[in-house]
């Protein structure tokens, strides 16, 4: 969970809860029981239907939608997802838990699994035509890298792109100028995207060369990638998204990255 998102959720939820009271005298915080909706059933009998808790949670957390919530493995606790940021909210909307949820029986980090699923779903909406790709389509492994033209370790990674490719690693680049919109790094990313040969332009830009190109609607592309990086939980560049959705922060040499990509032998079961 980003440090930015949780305080925003807390303040928004608090404002939503306090708004109806204004400056009125303090009242009891115990809410009256919700009235169950009643609909006729076969034979004329009335059956009570319970309201969808997700709709109520969305009302209490401005900016959220009912589909942003889903039941967690813990009864009475809902998972809230904003991109790859995950939090847990009590069914009454009064409490938020910021942290990872583990399954003790398997030692699995359930929250991290959901982050990875979310990243893959978001990146999966893009095609190779939406990225700058180095390596053959039939490469054994494909990673997606958020890169900044001016980032030192992004440049180091790209200086070894041939070695990654020789090891069977295909690299798909998305732009993430760390300095943000309307900065020199942002404009350099736009120039690369507008170039006729984007691969050559990116390589030259990472060497410090000035890339000149015709104007095109590159701002929308860089903004899309930048937002995707934020939604994916990016903390810096380069950020390498693995085939299973794991995000590796920082540069990894080709030899180390291929080891991370290769299947690891499983330990024999204890007898």
Catalytic residues: 148, 151, 154, 178
- Distance between CA atoms of residues 108 and 172, nearest Å: 29
Nearest CA to 177 among 242, 213, 221?
221
- Distance between CA atoms of residues 219 and 237, nearest Å: 19
- Distance between CA atoms of residues 238 and 173, nearest Å: 10
Residues facing residue 239 across a β-bridge: 146, 249
Edge-to-edge strands, sheet with 96-97: 69-71, 77-82, 85-90, 96-97
Helix (H, G, I), strand (E, B) or coil at 242: coil
- Distance between CA atoms of residues 152 and 264, nearest Å: 31
Backbone angles phi, psi at 172, to 5 degrees: -110, 120
Q: Is 233 left (phi over 0), alpha (psi -120 to 50) or beta?
A: left
Residue positions counted in the chain: 271
Angle between helices 184-193 and 198-206 (to 10 degrees): 150
């Amino acid at each position: 969970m980003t440090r930015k998102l949780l305080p925003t959720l807390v303040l928004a939820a608090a404002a939503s809860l306090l708004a109806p009271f204004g400056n009125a005298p303090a009242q009891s915080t115990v809410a009256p029981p919700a009235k169950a909706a009643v609909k006729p059933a076969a034979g004329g009998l009335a059956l009570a239907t319970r309201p969808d808790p997700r709709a109520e949670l969305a009302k209490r957390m401005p900016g959220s939608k009912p589909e942003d919530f889903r039941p967690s493995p813990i009864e009475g606790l809902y998972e809230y997802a904003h991109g790859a940021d995950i939090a847990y909210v009590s069914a009454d909307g009064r409490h938020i838990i910021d942290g990872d949820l583990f399954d003790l029986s398997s030692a699995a980090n359930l929250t991290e699994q959901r982050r990875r699923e979310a990243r893959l779903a978001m990146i999966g909406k893009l095609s190779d035509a939406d990225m700058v790709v180095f390596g053959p389509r039939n490469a054994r492994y494909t990673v997606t890298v958020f890169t900044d033209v001016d980032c030192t370790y992004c440049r180091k990674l790209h200086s070894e792109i041939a070695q990654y490719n020789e090891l069977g690693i295909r690299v798909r680049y998305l732009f993430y100028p760390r300095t943000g919109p309307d900065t020199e790094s942002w404009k350099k990313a736009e120039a690369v995207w507008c170039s006729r040969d984007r691969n050559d332009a990116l390589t030259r830009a990472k060497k410090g060369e000035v890339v000149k190109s015709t104007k095109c609607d590159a701002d929308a592309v860089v903004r899309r990638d930048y937002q995707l990086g934020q939604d994916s939980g990016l903390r810096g560049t380069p950020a390498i998204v693995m085939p299973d959705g794991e995000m590796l922060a920082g540069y990894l040499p080709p030899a180390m990255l291929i080891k991370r990509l290769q299947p690891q032998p499983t330990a024999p079961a204890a007898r």
